[in-house]
């Protein structure tokens, strides 16, 4: 399928995990893709993805760097048709141990970072007059906050709110704005969650807590893969999703059914 032939797609946090799987999916369907992340390894990831991919080092919390990212997409591929706000961080701590720094850093990346990218992407989409698609990565925690992560849950609830507000503002300009809620997906974040929650919630060995969680809470009894999330993102970016906006959609094997 070449659903995205000639389309320009920007993906933050595209060097690994869910973001990389999303990039693979768009490349396989003919898109030109810019992946962005804070570390230099983003260049290696782009090389692996092939000639239709470029890399850009960008901290999504920095307005000037975000502006430069979308200028780069314009100079390389003529603009931005699809922007996937996927970069995110998590820390886990009991309430009395959660620092103000943890709170601020999480809000900065997960919520402000999403907003700054949407703001810049919309500026470019409006200027082109061709419409566009914005897809924001929230989390199952935007539906149901898990224990020891109030800052992360709040940051992801924020993503859902800004998605709805922006969707209303740009609805008449053929720009759709949607959010996705991945459940439990195997990435570096899975490893971190397994290690820290595993210690805090009981004496779980490596891999045990997350597998236990999956078996007891996910009706499909398997963790998600990046490709499961990429399928939803590609659908929301496709022509089939033209009439869908302001929505938050779970991709979690049935973990949360609301």
Let me know how long the chain is.
258
Report, as residue numbers or ranges, the catalytic residues. Answer: 152
Closest approach of ligand NDP to the CB of residue 29, in Å: 20
Rounded CA-CA distance 141/182 in Å is: 9
Nearest approach in angstroms of CB 112 to ligand NDP is 10
Residue 188 in contact with residue 216, Cβ under 8 Å? no
Q: Which residue number, 89 or 244, has a Cβ lying nearer to ligand NDP?
A: 89
- Cβ nearer to ligand NDP, comparing 18 with 31: 18
Which two structure tokens, joined as six digits, stand for 131? 């419409």
Pick between residue 58 and residue 73 the one whose CB is nearest to ligand NDP.
58
Q: Applying CB under 6 A, which residues contact ligand NDP?
A: 12-13, 15-19, 37-39, 58-61, 86-90, 109, 113, 137, 139-140, 182, 184-185, 187-190
Please identify, using beta-carbon distances, which residue of 131 and 190 lies nearer to ligand NDP. Answer: 190
Q: Which of 157, 241, 148, 132 is nearest to 199 (CA)?
A: 148
- Least distance from C-beta 233 to ligand NDP, angstroms? 11
Contact 104, 63 (CB under 8 A): no
Minimum Å distance from CB 172 to ligand NDP?
29
227-to-25, 41, 120, 128, 150 alpha-carbon distances in Å: 8, 21, 27, 30, 28
Q: Cα separation of 86 and 221, whole Å?
A: 25
Give whichever of 111 and 126 is closer to ligand NDP, judged by the CB atom: 111
What is the smallest separation between the CB atom of 6 and ligand NDP, expressed in angstroms?
A: 26
Is residue 184 within 8 A of residue 213, CB to CB? The reply is yes
Q: What is the Cα–Cα distance from 62 to 41, expressed in whole angstroms? A: 19
């Amino acid at each position: 399928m070449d659903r995205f032939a000639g389309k320009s797609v920007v993906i933050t946090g595209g060097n690994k995990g869910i973001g990389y799987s999303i990039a693979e999916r768009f490349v396989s369907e003919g898109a030109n893709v810019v992946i962005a992340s804070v570390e230099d390894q983003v260049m290696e990831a782009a090389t692996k993805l092939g000639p239709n991919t470029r890399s850009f080092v960008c901290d999504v919390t920095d307005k000037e760097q975000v502006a430069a990212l979308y200028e780069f997409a314009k100079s390389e591929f003529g603009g931005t048709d699809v922007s996937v706000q996927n970069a995110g961080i998590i820390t886990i701590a009991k309430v009395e141990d959660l620092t103000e720094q943890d709170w601020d850093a999480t809000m900065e990346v997960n919520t402000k970072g999403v907003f700054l990218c949407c703001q810049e992407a919309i500026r470019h989409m409006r200027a082109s007059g061709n419409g566009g698609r914005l897809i924001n990565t929230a989390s199952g925690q935007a539906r149901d906050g898990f224990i020891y992560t109030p800052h992360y849950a709040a940051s992801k609830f924020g993503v859902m709110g800004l998605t709805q507000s922006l969707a209303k503002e740009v609805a008449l300009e053929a720009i759709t704005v949607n959010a996705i809620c991945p459940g439990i997906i195997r990435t570096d974040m899975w490893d971190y969650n397994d290690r820290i929650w595993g210690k805090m919630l009981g004496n779980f060995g490596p891999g045990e807590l997350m597998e236990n969680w999956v078996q007891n809470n996910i009706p499909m009894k398997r963790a998600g893969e990046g490709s499961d999330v990429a399928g939803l993102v590609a659908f929301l970016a496709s022509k089939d999703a033209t009439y869908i906006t302001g929505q938050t959609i779970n991709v979690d094997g049935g973990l949360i059914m609301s």
